[in-house]
Structure 1
């Protein structure tokens, strides 16, 4: 039976919980919550195993910090014997307006250090990724402060609906595959 690994990227620690950079953690938390499941701390991350339409799905929040996420991704792909085509990495993207979704089967890291490390560890840029737009409302040189900053009031109000859409996207990926998910969710 096929297994899936859904990886939400973020940074561990209370000071990062509500930051834009932690949207990957927030999305896998939502998936676990909707499945009435919880995470346990295991090797290189917090893990939650759920079933989506009968398919084993491993949710991962790496505890290696964002820029070293690849080690945890590689370890859990191997430990669970999951094919790279059944991997979905969820990350923030400053090049997309807030809440915008883009799913792709391959691509460049686009300056994202978490994706750079995953690509280096997996020795490929061909793996599915789900980019969640966080916007780019920052002045020159303030990118780090922005992504490590907390959501503003307007974003906080919109997040619950966006998280539900993200949960549906994960379900679509597991049930219908990458192509169907791209057709159904890109740009939404």
Structure 2
């Protein structure tokens, strides 16, 4: 099986229904949207992740969409396992994650760079030995007042945010598709101009 048109898309988050609506889990909300577009169900994978595979558009790129079964801070093991299993390099990996330093309802796309204090990214960089993967960064904004960031990311989106959240998820899934079909630069031009 050729990997020429194959992309691994990982949604970061914490496992279990108690975390499902948290700000920290927006990455997995996006992977759910992508799986729905592929009309593919998530299934257990031996890399300690759940995966859905398919194409969104006939003849378009193939996607392996994955959610690690581990907690956010130890996402690296499953992600590295998936790259090895599918014979992919980090350059074919798109990680979708929450980002405190970007306002809510804003997306930023990039390749490489540091982890910016994001423990999920830190663990992926450590496990894969490379920061060169692509990132779809979904802004969640800074915590209000003196609230700790660690507490803020584990809260559910506010009622006001939930009105816009479905659009954010759709836009982030569109961004993943754009990266795979048109390349990062074209995707950045479109996404960053829109926000």
Quick check: 2:21–2:156 contact (8 Å CA) kept in 1? yes
* Partner residue, 2:90: 84
Unaligned runs of 5+ in 1: none
* Distance of 1:74 and 1:131 partners within structure 2: 20
* Partner residue, 1:37: 40
Q: What is the aligned length? A: 188
1:119-169 deviation digits (Å, cap 9, x = unpaired): 101112121111100011333352111100001111110011111111211
1:45-81 deviation digits (Å, cap 9, x = unpaired): 1100011443221001011110011111111111011
Quick check: 1:52–1:174 contact (8 Å CA) kept in 2? no
Cα deviation, residue 5, structure 1 = 0.2
* Partner residue, 2:142: 136
* Partner residue, 2:153: 147
* Partner residue, 1:47: 51
Quick check: 1:2–1:82 contact (8 Å CA) kept in 2? no
* Distance of 1:156 and 1:163 partners within structure 2: 11
Unaligned runs of 5+ in 2: none
* Distance of 1:34 and 1:157 partners within structure 2: 21
Residues 1:15 and 2:18 are matched in the alignment:
yes
Q: In the alignment, which of 169, 174, 183 is matched to residue 168 of structure 1?
A: 174
